Amino acid sequence: VTISREFGSGGRTVGKEVAAKLGIPCYDSELIERIAKESGLSKEYIEKYGEYATSDRLYDNAMGGRDRDWQSVADKMWLAQKKVITDLAEKESCVIVGRCADYILREADNCLTVFIHASDDQRADRIVSVYGQREEAPAQRLHDKDKKRKAYYELYTGTQWGQADNYDLCLDSGKIGIQGCVDIIARLYQTCQQSA
């Protein structure tokens, strides 16, 4: 099961609860450590750039990679990320949150890809209650994070982030609720297992 999510949609919580319900592991921040080990890059670097592309770096990239160092490091990280995720998925059933896992595992037969989203208002409320107030307004924080995740996803996958076609299942966690999302995903997983 792979879970992509808009910032503040509660996708990470959904992933953890689905994994707990199904009795399988959930990889989220644990991935960072594994990618660091695989690539030799620092955990801090992977945390900062592993899902986010910043506009100046994208610009450099578009201009033919003037910042060649960044490009090669980013590509190295992408390859490590791909290897770690493919290995985990081959080894056992698991939930993987973020990091373009849906794209990396798109050819896998028995992979369920999920996208979790919610309205801006509901996500703004959630990030303030989960991560606390920041100097930057919640709406701005959402906008920045989404933009960088979207840019990273599109740079490495060549497909559109949040386009329904790219996922087996997309859920509005604000409308359906975290628990509702968990129930739908867990039930679908069990149905797929039975028919496999």
What is the binding site for its own copies (CB under 8 A)? 6, 112, 115, 117, 162-165, 167-172, 175-176, 180, 184, 187-188, 191
Asked if residue 4 lies in contact with residue 85, where contact means CB atoms within 8 angstroms, the answer is no
Identify residue 108 by its one-letter amino acid code.
A
- What is the β-pairing status of strands 169-172 and 26-27? unpaired
The CA distance from 84 to 133, in Å, is: 34
The CA distance from 115 to 20, in Å, is: 19
Give least dist CB 46 to its own copies, A. 27
By beta-carbon proximity to its own copies, the closer residue of 20 and 184 is 184
By beta-carbon proximity to its own copies, the closer residue of 137 and 164 is 164
Give least dist CB 160 to its own copies, A. 8
By beta-carbon proximity to its own copies, the closer residue of 82 and 123 is 123
Q: What is the 3-state secondary structure (H, E, C) of 11-37?
A: HHHHHHHHHHHHCCCEECCHHHHHHHH
By beta-carbon proximity to its own copies, the closer residue of 38 and 146 is 146
Give least dist CB 118 to its own copies, A. 9
Give least dist CB 161 to its own copies, A. 9
DSSP 25: -
